[in-house]
Each structure stands twice: as C-alpha cells, then as structure tokens.
Amino acid sequence: MAEAAAGTAPRDVELSDQGGEQRYDKIESKKEEKPALPDFFPSHGLTTAEADELRTKWGLNELEEKSTPKWVTYLHMLGLWGFNPMPVIIWVAIIIEIGLQNWPDVGVLVAIQFINATLGWYETIKAADAVAALKASLKPTATVKRDGSWQNMNAKFLVPGDMVLLGAGSAVPADCLVNDGRLEVDQSALTGESLPVTMYRGDSAKMGSTAVRGEVEATVESTGSSTFFGKTATMLQAAGGIGHLQKILMSIVIALVAISLILCITMLGYLLGYGREPFKEALTFVVVVLVVSIPIAIEIVCTTTLALGSRELSGHGAIVTRLASIEEMAGMNMLCSDKTGTLTLNKMVIQDDCPIYTPGITKEDVLKSAALAAKWKEPPRDALDTLVLLNSGLDLKELDQFEQVDFLPFDPTIKRTEGTLKGPDGRTFKCTKGAPHIILKLVEIDQEEVAKRVNWKVMDLGRRGIRSLAVARTNDEGKWQMMGILTFLDPPRSDTKITIERALEYGVDVKMITGDHGVIAKETARQLGLGTNIPDAAGLPTLAADGSIPKDLGKKYGKMILEADGFAQVYPEHKYLIVEALRQEGFAVGMTGDGVNDAPALKRADVGIAVSGATDAARAAADMVLTLEGLSVIVEAIRIARCIFCRMKNFINYRIACTLQLVVFFFIAILSLHPSTYGHEEHFFKMPVLMLILITVLNDGTLISVAYDHVIPSHQPEKWNLKVLWVVSTVLAAIACLSSLLLLWGALDASNPKGMFAAFGLPAIPYPEIITMMYLKVSISDFLTLFCARTHHGFFWSDRPSPFLAGAATVSLGISTLVACVWGDGQIDGLHVRGLTKSSYKLWPLWVWIYCLVWWVIQDACKVVTYIILRKFNIFHINTSTMVNVRGAATFNENPLARQSAGSVEGKLAEMKVEKALESVTRVARRSNEPGLRRVSQDLNLVRNSIKLARASMGGSAAKAGAAAATDVEAGTANADTELARIQQTIVQMEKAVAAAPPEDRAEIQKNLEELQRAADRMAAVNKLAQGEIQH
C-alpha cells in the first residue's frame, strides 16, 4: 500500500534498492522544506468536562458497525420480518387450520414453525457471537492525560484535542500529531512496508499503526469516522447485497413452492368439484400435503451445515463472520493475496549472499563489524539494528571483549551509524554501516576498484529486489576499508510455495497484490513460482471524478489484470477496483488484507479475508478472520468450504427429489387411483395428517446429520449447475414416485386373483393397512433417496457416508418401521387406520422393506445412467461448466476470458510441477553423481526454459485487445497444445531419470513424475473440452 496514504514518509532509510534511494531522498528533502503547521498547537491535556463536551460533538472514537439485532433475526426466521416465504406459508396453513378448528394440527404446525425458527436462529447467531467475542478481546486502550494526570482508558472515549502518550509497543489509538521528539511507527498494516517510519513534530500517526521505538506525547487529531479508518466507511457501506447462496436457495424454494402450490390447488379443486369431498376435510388434507412437501428445513439444514463448517474452520485458524461466505469460498477461483505477512514473514532476514571486498575475512566478520557499529548492549534502536543484533544468529557475548569508546547514531543527514572501538589488544578502530553509496564515499583503500564492484553488485541486487547494507572498518593506519555487503529481504514463508501449488491444484489462481516496490515484488514472486509479470499501478483503473466505480472496468481492464501475475506499488483504491473488475467479468474473487486501507477491497470481494494481526477495520470488513499466519490457512479453508458445498449440494439434490416425489405421488394418486374403483369404501386415497407430519419431522431431524457427512472435495471451484441438479433430482423423484404408485395400485388391487400381489403369492390387504403400508413405503423411500442423492460419480456405495449420517438414518428408519407396525386400530382424521402387524398376516413390513430396497437399487442405477448420458453428450454443459473459471459461464466461448483463465491456472500448475521435478532430479544427480542423471537434468532444464517462454508468449497472445471469444479459444488451445508437447518431453525425461536413478532415490523422482503426469492430464482435459467447442 502506498505510503502517501498514511501521510508520512520514512526518514531513516539505510539501505539500497533499485530507484528507492532517490525516491527517499526526494521525500526527505520535501519533508525538511515543509513549513511548520500554523494551526498546530500541541495539547497539554483536557479536563473531564472538556472531553465530555467534545465527545458530544464528535462522538465516540469508534466506527459504527451495522448489525442486525438478534430479535430481528428471530422474527425473520419466523417469517415476521423481511422476505422469507417458507415460514409465511406455514403461517397461512396455521390460520387455515384455526379457521377449520383442527386444533391438534394447529399445535403440530406451530411446534414445527417455532422449532425450525429457533434452530435456524441459534445456528445463525453462533458464528457472529464467536467473532464478536474475538473483537471484544482486542479492545484498544490508550494512555491519556485527563485532569492533569495520566490514566489508561478505553480508546473509544478519546476526543480530538486529547493528549496521549505513544510509546514502543503501543497501538496508535486515533489519528495523532506528534507534539515533540522522535517516534518510529510500524505502518506495515497501512502501507505493506516492513521497515518502520520515523516521525517528528507535526507528523501524523494513523490509527491502526503501532509505535515500535521511542516515546512521545501526541495530540489527538481525529477520532471515529473522521479518522483515516472512518473515511473508508463510504466504500464499505456501498458494498452489500444478497449473497450468492441466498439467491440460489431462493430460486430453488420459489420453484418448489410454485410446483407444490399448483398441484395442491389442482388437488383441492378436484376433491371439491369431482369428488364432492367436504370442504373442511379436503382443505385440511391439501394444506398439510403442501406443508410437508415444501422445503421447510432447507434453510435450517444449510445454516447448520455452514455453522458446523465454520466451527471446523475455526479449528484450523479461520473465524467466519458471514456464514454464506463459506459457499462463496468453495466457488472462489481467484485469490488476490497481500505480500507482506501473508506470502512473506513480515520480517527482514539476512541472506547467505554476502559479497566480500577485503581479503581474508568472512561473512561472520562482516556481521561482527556491523554489530560493533551499533550499541549492542542496549535494545536495538531500529529495524536494521534488530536485523544485525537479534536476527543474524550472531553471538553478542563475543563482542564484549571490545570497548565502545564513542558512538555516532543514525542521522538523516549522514545516513549511517559509526562506532569507535578499543580492542583487547588496546588498538582503537572504527566500524560503520549504512547505505552502500554513503559508505563508498568513506573508502580510501582501492576506492575506484571497490566502487565499481559495489555499484555493479548493488544494481544486480536492486534488480532482484534485494536490499543491501554496506559495512566498513578502519585499518591499522586509520584508513576506511570496505569489508562487505550484507543482503537482506523479507523472505517468503517456508510453506508458501507448496501452499500456492495446492491452491492451483484446487483450480484457484493466486495473484500477489502489494504496495511494495516492483523489483521486490518480482523477486518474491520468482521465488514462489508465481511468475514475474508484475506491473506497477500505472496501468490500473482509478475511480471516476465523482468517486463512482466505472461500469466497464471488466471490459477495459479484465484481460490485463488476468494476464498479470500480480501488481506492485498499488494504492487501496487499486485493490478495490482490481476486485471489482474481476467480479464484473464473472470471477469469484478472494482478497486478503490486514490494514485499514484494505477494508473496502475486503468488503467488495466475494470472500474478504483478514489475515492474522489485521486491524479492527479489516476484521470488520472481512468475511473470514485468520488467527494463524500464512497462506496455508486459506487453502485449508478452501478445502473445508468445498466439503461443506458438497454437503449442501447433496442435501438440496435430495430435498428437490423428496418434494417432487411426495407431492406428485399424492397428485396422481388422488386423480387416478380411486380406492372405490377397487371395491374399497374410500373415494380417494388420503393419509392422516399425523403420518404426514411424522414423515416431515423424522426427515428434517435426519437431514441435519448431512452437515456431518463424509464427502470428497472437488479439485475445481464449485459452481451451481441447477439444470443438472433438477434433472438428477427429477429422475430420483420419478423412480421413487413410480414405485409408490405401483405399490399403491397393487395393494388396492390385491383382492384380484390376477393382480400383482396374487402373482407373488401375497394375500389381500385390508384398506386400513394399505394406508399404513404407504406411510412406511414413502418414509423408507425418502431416507434411501438421500443415499442416492449424495453420490454423483457412481453408485451409492462408491462414497461411504459418515457414521453420524448412517446412524441418524437408521434410527429414523427404525422409528418409521416401528410406528407402521404398532399403529393402533382406530379412526383418525375420518380414516380407519391399522398397524401392519395387527392382523393375522404379519410379514407386510418385511415385504415393504424388500420392495423398497429393490427399487432403491433401480433408482440408483437410473441416476448413474443419467449422469453417464449427461457427461457423454455434455448436456447442460455438465463437463465444461466446472472447468470454466467464470461464474455464470458454462462454456469457454461464452466469455473471452474464460479459456485464458483456465489455461492460466493449469499452465501455472504444470510449470510448478516441472520445476519441482527438475529440482528432485538435480538433487539426486548431485548426490549420486550418475552421468545419465546429469544429462537428464540438463535436458530438463532446457525443457523448463522452453515452457517458460511458451507461457510468456501465451500470455501475450491471449491479451490482444478486441479479439472475439472464439478467437481467444482457438489461440488458447493452440498455445496449450504447444505447452503440452513440451510437458510431454519433460515426462519422457523424467521416465529416463527414474530408470537411471539409484534404487533408493527412485521413489522421490517417481512421485514427482506422477504429480507432473496428473497436472498434464488435467491440462489436456481442459484443452480437449475447449477444442470440442471449436469443432461444434
């Protein structure tokens, strides 16, 4: 992030990087020329009365957060607040039952309504309460002078004009102006810059930063919404709307409710008109059929699944602040990651590379001299002293043999530190450390030659983004001699590279977005294998003059943003607009951040992720708050989110099938299968309301266990293909409905000697037991359909259910069977009903179970055949939709960026696998010294370089403006063919390496070969699908 955003600039830069030196000098000169602030009068403290008066004017020092009261959430779950159609339908049913004076049914429906509402409310607020507790534990405090004395208080009570104490380790509680003195402030949360910023009188320390050295008194400048923190509120509040999951659920619910209403109204008209049923009985039955057929529990089951998932995520270091973001993370295909602290350690580390310019000395000697140019017996004064004294591994006790006679501290005018030392032998000498160009001016021995070598090295390091610190020492004659250059940078985390590889394996493209220098960003990206196409912010979009977001961001900048591996030197608004441009083009975007400036982008992203140590502003805007450091937490969250998505998809698949089979069964049975036609007294087949309610209660109770089901996460970003979902659900419903209708027909016709029952040697069954038989059949079919609906790539046994789900289903099936067996002989709702074991023939439950199991196998086989047909002919784009990393696009030629995106992810993954393979072969070749392996290693290196060139040209050709979608697909497949051919060369070389390697090393190379083969197969699959679209 930009330092300009924080309003300050670093004064104490002792290092060198490409172009950085000149930039800092210019900033310093401007700072020195800055006139004294005419309206700045340092505060000497306020009285309590003055503070109370100012607080009345300015308000509390906090940003107001919009939150929904818990009672409003509960009313929403009851359908009494906002738009929530399912509870409203139940209320309508309750009112109708009250009008009909069916008080038992009223009691059951009211109980269902409040149980569903209470469970949904409980699960919804639980995750929010967890985050609120986290925030409450992080309340900032401030040391403020009130009524003439210093006191600690909650920072929210600060007011402009307060006098506060800012000391090392304390958080800056509001925007404050330094009264006098010198203070070093860590603004990495605001700017992304690892080194602290030095501030003097009149400089503004922003809320969200941290004092790291020094102690000053300061005057509170702004509080609450007037701070830099508060000024992001407009963009934060502008980003909102209904979540993606809510839209999906709403569309499914509306469709199911519409189907149920149409069929139920038709049934009611038929019963009243053709059948001349009494109005009360007909309406009661139809209303209850409607209630049990609509997906009452769809929201509560999804909420429970998400809430349980959020608890699992919290165990892995990710606290979810918005449950629906879990579904969006499952579909996330683009992750824009901050560099500092997320991809890197956020800590400067000395590198192994240490150029030496004095013969006979080592890196250890250079480190000792650098430490002697500091006060090693005192706490480090700045980041560079910390680097040398604490993070270099140097044993400081060895320095105690030297006596520090004099010390010249760092000063902006000389840009170096200097120590005068007396050694154990009594000789006096000097050591200095500082920027290379400054130290070179002191060198007196071989000055010209050393200058050439140092300048060349500094330029080389600068191009790679590595910072440098020169160290010199006087010789016995008192002449300065260059000892060497210490190199250091903020290194990547040890697990970042493998984590990025895992993200690519999950189909998520990772882009680095940083406010740091371009050269530093490129070097970090190179080490991580992200690619080095990292431009600065010059070509990025900006907000319109009125502050609005251009609507054509995606069309203008989408290709450029997609082609880049990341961006450097970006401002907060750039992050926001990068997210918006990608979202406009249909990408599901995740954004990480930790600072105040990141808050708008976090809010706008599909999944905003506040990393460990983030400011309150970032936490408030984020959908997910990480409590552990690094990118690995995010990739683990992606895996868990996709498991949760699978569970919800399985449930919704089942819920659609269950609703359709139930309502269509009664619709056809009432219209076509009249018991009176087969010699029974009843004109129409109906089921007691209590049986229908029991089916619903047991179903809903079992379905909550779906949240614990065992699933295998997808390796592609998840997308809702509702057409496929409806087709598969309809097939499952059709088979279950057909089997129910067939059993009902056979039971009604059981007295016929040529009927179905007679053909199997079964006796006639009385009508009271037919009702119970159909209750048991519908119950068993419902539960067994759940096991069919949860597998999508094979039969129901291809993916084992969790013990919890299997146990819950077994209990519910047992209860349903027991109820069907022991139901008493009597009247209920005007119907004569009797249990299946109450007559002389007691084997009906067994035959119903056998019948259901046979049809279960048939149902599952039909599901498998349906998927085979869908995939063979790519119906509803079932194959391509998951490969296209653009939301709403099912084919590569629907969106100009769709093919480029898929090729980018697969190509990056393949390139990382090639790099990994080369490293393993090279390592084994060095260890074994096999000539054959060395040749293979050299060949692999050539192929690797060829692939990199192909990737570079692929990006250039894919980014040509104005190309049509079909042209993009053709260009993408042609480039992919070229890259695949080179990868196949790598595979051939790897096979040779396996054959040439010593037996003990073959397993390592074979593992990398298999990973590379899988990546190549995946890339080939994407390319094949894209080529298929061109041909058609």
**101 touches 278 (CB < 8 A):** no
Instruction: Give the pair of three-digit tokens for residue 919.
Output: 């490293």
Sign of CA dihedral 570, 573, 579, 585: negative
Number of Cβ atoms within 10 Å of the Cβ of 628: 12
The Cα–Cα gap between 428 and 810 comes to 87
Residues 6+ apart with CB under 8 A from 201: 178, 179, 180, 181
**Closest CA relative to residue 463, chosen from 440, 489, 441, 437:** 489
* Cα 9 to Cα 3, 100, 436, 466, distances in angstroms: 6, 77, 21, 20
End-to-end CA distance of the chain: 47
State whether residue 142 is helix, strand or coil: strand
> Pairing relation of β-strands 403-408 and 416-422?
antiparallel
**853 touches 783 (CB < 8 A):** no
How is 682-748 classified by DSSP, letter by letter?
Answer: -SS----HHHHHHHHHHHHHHHGGGGG------SS-----HHHHHHHHHHHHHHHHHHHHHHHHHHH
Please tell me the chain's helix, strand, coil percentages from 3-state DSSP, rounded to the nearest 5.
55, 10, 30
Give burial (CB, 10 Å; 0-12/13-18/19+) of 862: middle
Residues 6+ apart with CB under 8 A from 258: none
* Cα 674 to Cα 670, 682, 829, 962, distances in angstroms: 7, 8, 18, 66
**Closest CA relative to residue 157, chosen from 66, 224, 250, 110:** 224
**243 touches 328 (CB < 8 A):** yes
The Cα–Cα gap between 423 and 814 comes to 89
The angle formed by the CA atoms of residues 898, 899 and 903, to the nearest 5 degrees, is: 120
Backbone angles phi, psi at 140, to 5 degrees: -75, 145
Number of Cβ atoms within 10 Å of the Cβ of 151: 10
Residue positions counted in the chain: 1032
Secondary structure (H, E, C), 462-475: HHCCCEEEEEEEEC
The Cα–Cα gap between 287 and 292 comes to 9
Q: Please indicate whether residue 939 is annotated as part of the active site.
A: no
**675 touches 767 (CB < 8 A):** yes
**436 touches 16 (CB < 8 A):** yes
Give burial (CB, 10 Å; 0-12/13-18/19+) of 252: buried
The residue type of 752 is N
Strand partners, 503: none
**For residue 976, how far is the Cα from the chain centroid?**
28
Number of Cβ atoms within 10 Å of the Cβ of 803: 11
Kindly name the residue from 12, 17, 338, 516 that is annotated as catalytic. 338
**441 touches 448 (CB < 8 A):** no
Backbone angles phi, psi at 404, to 5 degrees: -85, 105
* Cα 898 to Cα 502, 585, 837, 902, 1022, distances in angstroms: 21, 9, 62, 6, 11
Q: List helix spans (H) across 765-802.
A: 767-789
Residues that are catalytic: 338
